[in-house]
Amino acid sequence: MKIASHDGLSLSPQNDFVWPRFDVVSHPYIKWGLGISIGVKFGDGANLPVNKLLLDISSVASGFTVPTGCIQTRLVGTVQTAESGVRLNFSGMNGLWQAMIRLHDISTSQARYNTMSLKQYGVLVGKATAGKREDGQDTPHYQVQVRSAGVDYRLAVNVKSKGDKPELLYLIADPFEHPILNRLAGLAEGFTLIPSQAGGAALDFVRGNLFDKDGMRTLPHNLPGPSNDLNDRIEHLVARAISEQDAQVFAFGERWGPEQDLKDKIFGFKPGNGIHDIHMNQGNDAAYRKDDGVWQDGGLLFHFPSTRQWVGVFLAFQSQSWHTDDQTGHALEGDEDKTTDKQVRIVAAMVNPAGPDPEVETVLLLNPSPQAIDLNGWHIADQQKRKCPLSGSLPAHGTVSVQLGAGVKLGNSGGLITLLDMKGLKVHGVSYTKVQAREEDWLVVF
Which of the residue ranges 33-37, 224-228, 358-362, 401-405 would you say has the lowest mean pLDDT? Answer: 33-37
Q: What is the second-level CATH architecture of the domain 345-445?
A: Sandwich (2.60)
Write the DSSP assignment of 166-221 as a string of letters.
Answer: -SEEEEEESS---THHHHHTTPPSEEEE--SSTTSS-B-TTTS--S-GGG-EEE-S
d(CA 123, CA 130): 19
pLDDT tens track for 260-273? 889 999 999 999 99
Closest CA to 311 of 178, 439, 149, 115: 178
d(CA 83, CA 330): 27
d(CA 137, CA 144): 19
- Extents of the domains making up the chain: 1-114, 121-317, 345-445
Which of the residue ranges 44-48, 71-75, 116-120 would you say has the lowest mean pLDDT? Answer: 71-75
- Mean pLDDT of the region 174-192: 95
Residue 85 gets the label, from left (phi > 0), alpha (psi -120 to 50) or beta, of beta
The rounded mean pLDDT for the chain is 79
Query: How far, in Å, are 151, 153, 232, 273 from residue 148 at the CA level?
Result: 5, 8, 24, 11
pLDDT tens track for 160-180? 998 889 999 999 999 999 999
Residue 337 per-residue DSSP state: -
Sign of CA dihedral 242, 246, 252, 255: positive
**Confidence at 369, pLDDT banded by 50, 70, 90:** very high
d(CA 427, CA 406): 20
Provide the pLDDT for residue 340.
52
**Confidence at 78, pLDDT banded by 50, 70, 90:** very low
Provide the pLDDT for residue 139.
79
- pTM of the predicted structure, to 2 decimals: 0.73
Check: CB of residue 117 under 8 Å from CB of residue 327: no
- 419 CB-near residues (< 8 Å, 6+ apart): 344, 346, 365, 378, 379, 380, 381, 426, 427, 428, 429
Provide the pLDDT for residue 333.
81
d(CA 353, CA 85): 46
Provide the pLDDT for residue 341.
59
Tell whether the model's pLDDT for residue 40 goes beyond 60: no
- Mean pLDDT of the region 79-102: 38
